[in-house]
Amino acid sequence: MSKKRVCLVSLYSYPLFNPSCGGSFGGSEVRVAIIARGLARLADFEVSLLVFDHGQEDGEVIDNVTIRVWRGRRDPALSKEEGKGGDRLGYLARRLWRAMVWRLEWVHAHRFVYWPVAYLRRWLQPILGRLLEPRPFEKVDADLYLVPGNNEITAEVAFSSRECGRKVILLAGSDMDYDPAYRLDPGGRNVYGTPHHLMAYANSAVDAHIVQSTRQAESLASNYGRRASIVRNPIDLSGRISVDAGSMRDLLWIGKSDPVKRPELMLEMASRLPQYSVTMVLNLANRLIHESILREAQALPNLEIVEYVPFAGIESYFACHRILINTSTIEGFPNTFLQSMKYGHPIATLEVDPESIISRHGCGICGDGDFGRLVELTGEMLSQPQKYAEMGRNAEHYVGQFHDQEQVVARYAEIIGSLIAADTSARD
């Protein structure tokens, strides 16, 4: 029986396999790493992972996962001027390609630009060689791609896979992945600058969707007419760090320095709750926001900011903080929630309540978009030990019931196997 060859395209995930590279990562990358390692442990799977170029060898194998490098594409957090230097000709060629294709209305680009160039490339490849070299994900010998989040790379992978006959599954990240504005306003851009028409195309062009919640499945169905498989985010529940009660701190915030995460609100919370200790693990994303947060934090004696923590060390932060704070405008199902709830620590969230874990399962408190209320409820939870303990028990029970990684990986394997088998049957 031949193995199922799967490639996960998750450029920020390398630090979860080699922490010494110093790159940035988030909850999406944690999910990818667990899935990649979990599938690689199965005898009938062959797993690859495409990541940023950190100068590592292409094809290195870590935990049975083959790490492939998008050569020349660097982690933006490690390069102040992405695209400058190095292969200047290649950089200019990519910019020209984007101007020709990605910024055109997608259907017209698909019909009148991409396909003629793709067919021409087949004829010219032997002559022009490396000038028409396939994109990195096309070089990976895979039956199926898993791509987290709806973004420009997702659209590119889905677009290319039509040509080479491979399957693509979109792993929903944020709830904004299925925003109807992408379809209704194709000329617009989202908060990260990605053109709407690319995201609308990705939602339609991928072969399947795996979502984190009922809300995401309903959004995909109502806005794009597609069905999805609901699979909870995975977490390893096998080991827990022991923490001395005297070393416990109060509030923890973990995220990137970007406008969706709103780290500036954590500075305000630290100011309003000076009697409690606050820790922010702030991963660089937007340099202007990042430097502003670092500068303003100097005036807050109860606030400690840590700019980077490797994944192997992040567990101790969840273990030794009583409450995880979330200030994001929108999320999917944050892995940070699971990592904190694993230790019986409740969540305090401004407006994100995935799968109603707050309102239905009592795993913490929600400010319902009112920041003043969030601050008030957080203070009350810390000052009422019995209420805090009850929410903590609810949180730990919920994670154990729905998010154990062994169950989640088995479900991924089932979905991937069915999609590959259906494709094989169709060809036969």
Name, in order, each residue with C-beta under 8 angstroms of 324's C-beta and a sequence gap of 6 or more: 252, 253, 254, 318, 336, 337, 340, 345, 346, 347, 348
CATH match of 4-79+134-233+406-427 with 3.40.50.2000: yes
- Is the per-residue pLDDT at 114 higher than 60? no
Q: What is the mean pLDDT of residues 216-235?
A: 96
The tokens of 372 are what? 């003043």
Query: Do residues 182 and 200 lie in contact, with contact meaning Cβ atoms separated by under 8 Å?
Result: yes
Asked if residue 41 lies in contact with residue 64, where contact means CB atoms within 8 angstroms, the answer is yes
Mapping DSSP onto H, E and C, the string for 315-329 reads HHHHHCEEEEEECCC
Q: CA 375, CA 36: separation in Å to the nearest integer?
A: 38
Give me the residue spans of the domains in the chain.
Answer: 4-79+134-233+406-427, 87-132, 245-402
What's the rounded Cα separation, in Å, for the pair 308 and 286? 14
Q: Which of 352, 384, 381 is nearest to 368 (CA)?
A: 352
Task: Give the span between the Cα atoms of 99 and 274, in whole angstroms.
Answer: 51
Indicate if 245-402 has the same CATH topology as 4-79+134-233+406-427: yes
Secondary structure class of 232 (helix, strand, coil): coil
- Compare 86 and 428 and report the one with higher pLDDT: 428
Among the ranges given (25-29, 162-166, 218-222), the one the predictor scored with the smallest mean pLDDT: 162-166
pLDDT digits (tens, 9 = 90+) for 52-102: 999 999 999 999 999 999 998 888 777 654 434 445 555 556 555 555 554
Q: Which fold has domain 245-402?
A: Rossmann fold (3.40.50)
Q: What pLDDT does residue 94 have? A: 53
* Helix ranges restricted to H, 75-151: 88-100, 106-109, 115-128, 136-139
Mean predicted confidence (pLDDT) in 339-353: 96
pLDDT at 15 over 70: yes
Taking the C-alpha atoms of residue 129 and residue 137, their distance in angstroms, rounded to an integer, is 18
Q: Does residue 165 sit in helix, strand or coil?
A: coil
Region 400-413: mean pLDDT is 94
Q: Write the pLDDT tens digit of every residue in 290-311.
A: 999 999 999 999 999 999 888 8
